[in-house]
Structure formats: C-alpha cells, structure tokens
Amino acid sequence: MRPDQTADFEEFVAASARSLRRTAFLLCGDWQRAEDATQDALVKLYVAWPRIRRRGAATAYAHRAVTTAVVDQARRPWRREVSTLTLPEGRRERSVDPVASTERRLAVLAALEELPDRRRACVVLRYFADLSVADTAVALGIDGGTVKSQTARALDQLRVSLAGTGLDLAMEDL
C-alpha cells in the first residue's frame, strides 16, 4: 500500500475501531471475542483498502467484515464454550445509579442474545452502530426490505423480552 493509503487507513481505524469493537461485542456478547473479531475484520479491511477507499464504502465493508468475523468465530469448535459475562468498560456518570444501569445493560444484553443471528445483527447495526438501512443491507449482504422486516421483528421480540423485567429500558442503555 502507498504511504497516503496507509495514512488514510490509520485515520479510519482511529476513528472507527471503538465503534467496530462495540458492534462486535453486541453481536457476540464477549469483549475478548469482540476484540478478536475486530482485529480479523481490520486485517481484511487493510488488504482490501485500496479498492474500498476508491468506492467510498469503507464503513459498510468494515461492519460487514466484523459481522462475518463474529459468525466465523462462532462456528469454530473451540468457541462453543459459554463464557461468563463481563461488564463492559466505559464511562461512568456519577449521577447515575451504577446498579440500576448495570441491571438495564444486562437485561438488554440478555434480550439481544435471545434474538436469531440475522435479527440481532440488524438491530445492532441499525441502532447501536447507527447505520442506515442501505448501509446495514450492504454490511449484511441482504436487501433493504429484509433489513426493515428483520429489524421490526427483532424490536417486537425485544419488547416482549424486556416487558417482564420491570425496568424502564431504552436502546441507549448500552
């Protein structure tokens, strides 16, 4: 890769690595697996960077690569172990009750884990990664209509799952 392309890639990674890692975590529920998936995706992105950079599809390609890496990891036999859930690292607001915040987070994560893979990917990419319907469709390799229907079904399922928790939950709680 040329030096100017390397600099562009480094800027992209600096700006989006955290978002990609968070997306991977929301898809798999484990920070270590999310980190591995993000690294795998960034390696693929680096190899394809000159081609992707010209088309301007780096973000969609990166999210698709992360989604694919998470699915590939789940297929590996040594990844079938069930890990314990660790609380995500992040900022803590002093005015927020950390116990209530943690309960909300765990409830949303548990509800996300109940979703089928494609529905979970649609919700995570649309609402947590803040991708458009078109970008989500490109990232998952499906039609925009499929993204809309899968997202609607996933949100219905999440509402049902979260209704019994007694917590005032919002998607921003993660």
Q: For position 87, what pLDDT does the model report?
A: 56
Q: For position 168, what pLDDT does the model report?
A: 47
| Per-residue pLDDT tens over the stretch 94-127 | 555 556 677 778 888 888 888 998 999 999 999 8
Where along the chain do its domains lie?
A: 1-80, 95-174
The pTM is what? 0.55
Q: What is the DSSP string of 69-115?
A: HHHHHHHSGGG-SPPPP-PPP----TTS-HHHHHHHHHHHHHHHHHS
Q: Which residues contact 19 (CB under 8 A, 6 or more apart)?
A: 129
Q: Which residues contact 33 (CB under 8 A, 6 or more apart)?
A: 24, 70, 73, 79, 83
Q: Which residue has the tokens 């609402």?
A: 127
Phi/psi of residue 50, each to 5°?
Answer: -60, -40
Does the domain formed by 95-174 have CATH 1.10.10.10? yes
Q: How far, in Å, CA of 162 to CA of 86, rounded? A: 20
The tokens of 36 are what? 């591995």
Q: For position 154, what pLDDT does the model report?
A: 92
pLDDT confidence band for 171 (50 / 70 / 90) = very low
pLDDT confidence band for 172 (50 / 70 / 90) = very low
Of the candidates 89, 74, 84, the one whose C-alpha atom is nearest the C-alpha of residue 22 is 89
